[in-house]
Amino acid sequence: MSTGTSVTVTEQSFPTEVLASDKPVIVDFWATWCGPCKMIAPVFEELARDHSDKVTFAKVDIDQAPGLQRDLQIMSIPTLIVFKDGKQVAQLVGAQSKKKLHAAIAEFL
């Protein structure tokens, strides 16, 4: 088990930290004003602590990264996108229970 937590990613660091990563990256697109985002944040951090040895957990504040929101066509938040080898391979939209979130990303853990 790792003691890692999620990393904050910006528009500038996204290509390096997400697209060029040598392991899968699960990106939580969120905003400070988003209630459902706040609901899943502790679950996301818990998953990051438990699995960051196999997967990178990243967070992008869409208010700070409008270009990424536009380019990835994120219409509602929270949106979780899994990137593997620089490509989007899975997406989850809306607040999820820990069990559902874990099940959705289990193949990458």
Low-confidence ranges of the chain (pLDDT < 70): 1-4
| pLDDT given for residue 98 in this prediction | 85
What length is written for the chain?
Answer: 109
Angstrom distances, CA of residue 45 to CA of 3, 85, 86: 10, 23, 22
Write down the mean pLDDT value for the chain.
Answer: 92
DSSP 18: I
What's the CATH number for 7-104?
3.40.30.10
Domain boundaries, the chain: 7-104
Burial (CB count within 10 angstroms: exposed 0-12, middle 13-18, buried 19+), residue 108: middle
| pTM of the complete model beyond 0.85 | yes
Please list the active-site residues.
34, 37
**8-13-18 Cα angle (round to 5):** 80
